[in-house]
Structures are given as C-alpha cells and as structure tokens.
Structure 1
Amino acid sequence: MQDIQEIGDSLFACGDGLQFYRRSRYGDGTWHCLAPDLRQPPGTPASAYCIMPRINGPHERAVYAVGQRGSIYFWNGETVRKLDCPVRSTLIDIHVESDDAIWICGGDGTLLKGNHRTGFRLCPGTGLGTTLFQRMTMYDGTLYLAASGGDPFGLFTYRDGRIAPVRTGLQPEIADPHFVDSAHGVLWAMSIKDIVRFDGHAWERIDFPGHPPIR
C-alpha cells in the first residue's frame, strides 16, 4: 500500500497493482476492495504493472488516484474507471482545491488541472525538463510544489502560467525538498534533514532533531 486519506466519513487507500480500498466509519470496520477486477496479480509484467502513490478527493463520491504512465483513476461512489490523461509521465501527488479544480503533479515537470467531468489538461508553462514534482499545496492563493529530483529541482510556485523558484532568503536555501504542505496559516517544506516554515511574512529554519543545525 502507498497512501491513505480520510475523505468524508471513510478512509480510502491505494497501492501497488491497482489496489483501491475503502473503510467506512459506519461500517463493520472491514476494508472493501473498490475495483477487484482491476487488481493486478503477482507476475504482472513490469511494463504493465502500475504503482498508485496517491489517493484524494473532495468527497466520498469523487475520489481520484494516480500512478505510473499517466494513470488517473476515479471512484464515483459505485465504480472505478480510468480517465484520459494528456501525458504518460509518472503521476505522484493530488491537491484538491475544489470539486472542479483538481491538481495532479509528477515526473517530467508535469502539472495537470481538471476534473472527471471536463477532463485534465497540462497547465501552461509546465511539462518541460526532467523535474520530479513530488508534493504540492495551495498557500495564500499560490500553488507551491516540491521537486526533489530531476532538473531543475527545489521549491517552486506556479502562478499566472509560470513555474518560478522560491527564494526563501535562508542561508543556505533548502535543498532537495520532497515535502510541502500548509496548515493553520503556515507553509511547511522539508528535505531529508531540513525543515523550513513560512508564515506569510518571513521564512524560518527549524533545527532538525538529532542533526547539526544547518547554517
């Protein structure tokens, strides 16, 4: 298994071999497979095998999961179906802005936006290079993306059709970030041994427990 999310009154999980599960708060505690016909058996060739690293959605009847080779799957409360995707890149993360605005990011600088009704489109100014976007979040109306691999890599924003590197002013800048999220008015970004936060006014580095301070 790769990911688990609380959506509405249920837990949804996804993983390798096209596994999709749901556990309802009001049920008997059993995890139910949402798409048993899609599950890939042991021995599936690597060229066809699909790893699904992220699942998320605005509510229990609109849940998305993404994975390798441009795979986007959608659960409507009854069935799981595969959606069309304009790229074949590995898809890694999902950010839910609203029912109509679902963001998906991944390899090859991929950033998609759309929904199951109108489809997904590659965002202007993206889909270039070898950048690996691993996580994203919306903060103060701007989308932030963490790229820990490829070229270029670092912490980026996407606004007005343009990907731009974030300059925190910290010395040194955060290197190789693999995680970014926001909560309670604060943006957080992390690399393997570095933690930084932004409160809307200034960036701050948090010393990583058990490691020498980064200065």
Structure 2
Amino acid sequence: MFVFGRTPKEEWFHHDLQDFQVMSTQLVPEEEGGRPRRVLALDFHGQLEDYSRSGATIERVCAGAGAVGLTRIRRLGEDLFCCGVHGMVYHRSKTEWKQLPTNFPKPEHRTLKDDLDSLDFDSWVESVAHVFEFDGMVPLPIDPVERETELRRKYAGTRAEITESLKSPAFTQMRANLDVASVNDLCGTGVADLYAIGSDGLIAHWNGLNWTHPDPVATADLLHAYRTDDGHCIFVCTEGTIVTGNISNGFGRLPHDASGHINFNSACQHGQQIYIGTEYAGLYVYSLVTGVLEPLLEGIPEELRDATIVDISSAGSVLWVLTPWDLLRFDGTEWQVIVHPDNG
C-alpha cells in the first residue's frame, strides 16, 4: 500500500501487507485527543488491517470463509461497513462485525436451458460452422449431403453436452451464485440510512430493520455510490448509465448525451459539481445547478485525457483524482500531476 504524505519528509512511502489481497481502503481522520489518523485496508478474504503511526492491527470481518469476496469498505457517519459478492453486507458494531440479512431480488439471467430451447440447427451452423475450417480441425466433407449429415451430428452432440451440463453440481452452484446480486458499493448516513447498489441494477435501502427495494430503473451494473451534501444519491454504472434520487423521492436515470458505451465508475462532489470518472474516457462533470453532464476537456493535463479513472475524492478545497499511473491534485485553479516513483 502506497501513501502520499505531501510533506517533504514523507511524500511517497509504502507499507507492506503480508498475504493481503487489498480490495478497498478507507482513511479515518485523527480524533481530537484520541486515536491518530488511520488507514483501513480490506482484504478480499475478509481480513481488515488498521494502520497508523502507532502500528498495525488485523481483525477478521467474519471468522472462517464466510466473508470471502469482500470488495469495498466504507465509513458512513461513525459506522463502518463492507460489502461484496453474493449480496454480502457487514456492519461494524462497537464490539464486532455483524452481517446484515439480505433478501435482494434475484437478477434475471438467460439460462443454458433458454439457450438450448432457442438453439436451432440453422442458427447454430451460422454461428459455429466456420470453426471447423480452422487449421488442426478435421475438415468437413466436401459433398453437400455428407457435409450436412456431419454438421447435424455435431449439432446433436452440442445439444447433448448442454443438456448434460445442466445436471452437473458445478453448474448448479454457478447458477446459485449468479442468483444473488453482488453488492458493489454502499452510501448513506449510517446503519439506519444505508444504500446498497450492485450488479444487474440492484438498489436497496436499509432503515436499520429491513430493506426496501425501489422499482428498478436500470439493468446495468451499478459500480459506485455517492451521497451529495443535500441527501441525494448518485449511482454511476456501466453502459453509460447514471442513476440519481433517494428512497423518499424515488430514482431515475440522468438524461445526458454521453455514449452508452462509456462505463462510469466513480463519483465525488466538489463544490456544486459532481466529478464522475470513466473507463478510458477521462472525467465528466455533472452540475448540480444546471443538471447538465459534460466531459471535462478544457484546462486539464494530458494525463487525464481519455484516462481510466480509478478513484476521485474531495478534501477541503482540493479535488484528488487517481489513475492507474498518476495522482492528480486540483486546487480550483491549477492541476498538479504527482508521479509515483515507480511510474516515473
């Protein structure tokens, strides 16, 4: 884990986490008269490191293998949460981690049985017959009648393989895993006001007792959740989708002119604007005043043009943007590109 300290003494320094697959980190500010500033690092397999100048401690979010697949940690108010695959959401109480019960609706997926029912001979030939012409493959007969006979034999074999795979334990387990939406991110004010978003358009709200599921507004995977200063939520998604709203007023898709091929992956409020990161398309800016979404093209460093944005955050008057190669700082007037020594 690399930390940029900004002071001449610190600047970049690193901290090794042994046997960790770090998925998400969370900065916890210094408490007045109490604990120093800390960095929490969440491991895919459920380990959580608490690191500060006082040292490091490690705890488990869940004993055993129950928490395998954790991908995000969030501090909302004074509460800690983490989430991950198969609908997992955990909350840190004063004494321990507890898993919140989730009863999220099952996503709608095409099944192999659907594919089998729609698999007719002509469409199968159109899709795969060219494969038999590749080098190393046994060539099909030249005679048209013999050729069709051989293709029909292979077609029957394909249907038989799909039918058999439907009976396998591995397929049953795979379907069971897909039938529970992954939770990709969380936002809100705490354990009595918690939003969970995830795969296949999942949006859910926890009021401290139970989950509410608003009407779905998208089928895209929701990747990042952000709560604005006025209590509205912004969920950024794949397929050029941005969802806004809250549990009281409902949710809707934000109308915009950006391409449906863009994957939005991160968002952060800075002033009266929401900066939104993309995969391979740089930064977009959504104005809370005008309601307009536009790409950020003017006055930015070359390192941001068509960049993949990893994360965005705002601290005081400064906006921070992380790409796979650079850390960028915007003070409202100028951009500063901070290069990691290993990328120089």
User: TM range, normalised to the smaller chain?
Assistant: 0.7 to 0.9
TM-superposed deviation, 1:99: 6.1
Aligned to 2:283: 155
Amino acid at match of 2:98: H
Does 1:111 find its partner at 2:180? no
| TM-score scaled by length of structure 1 | 0.86
Aligned to 1:35: 101
Which structure's residues are more often helix, by fraction?
2
Greater C-alpha radius of gyration: 2
Task: With a CA cutoff of 8 Å and minimum separation of 6, indicate the structure with the bigger relative contact order.
Answer: 1
Aligned to 2:295: 165
Deviation larger for 118-127 or 31-40: 31-40
Q: SS in structure 2 opposite 1:78?
A: coil
Amino acid at match of 2:75: E
Q: Deviations over 1:76-103 (max 9, x none)?
A: 0111232222111100111111464111
Q: SS in structure 1 opposite 2:234?
A: strand
Counterpart contact for 2:86–2:181, Cα < 8 Å: yes
TM-superposed deviation, 1:39: 11
Which structure's residues are more often strand, by fraction?
1
1:29-68 paired onto structure 2 within 5 Å: 29-35=95-101, 43-45=173-175, 47-68=178-199
Shift in CA distance, 207/104, structure 1 to aligned 2, threshold 3 Å: same
Q: Percent identity?
A: 25
Q: SS in structure 1 opposite 2:324?
A: coil
Shift in CA distance, 44/31, structure 1 to aligned 2, threshold 3 Å: farther
**Unmatched runs of 5 consecutive residues or more in structure 1:** none
| TM-score scaled by length of structure 2 | 0.55
Aligned to 1:201: 333
Aligned residue among 273, 288, 300 for 1:142: 273
Deviation larger for 68-77 or 95-104: 95-104
Counterpart contact for 2:74–2:186, Cα < 8 Å: yes
Counterpart contact for 1:34–1:79, Cα < 8 Å: no
**Unmatched runs of 5 consecutive residues or more in structure 2:** 1-69, 107-171
Counterpart contact for 2:104–2:180, Cα < 8 Å: no
Let me know the Cα RMSD of the aligned residues. Answer: 2.3
Counterpart contact for 2:79–2:190, Cα < 8 Å: no
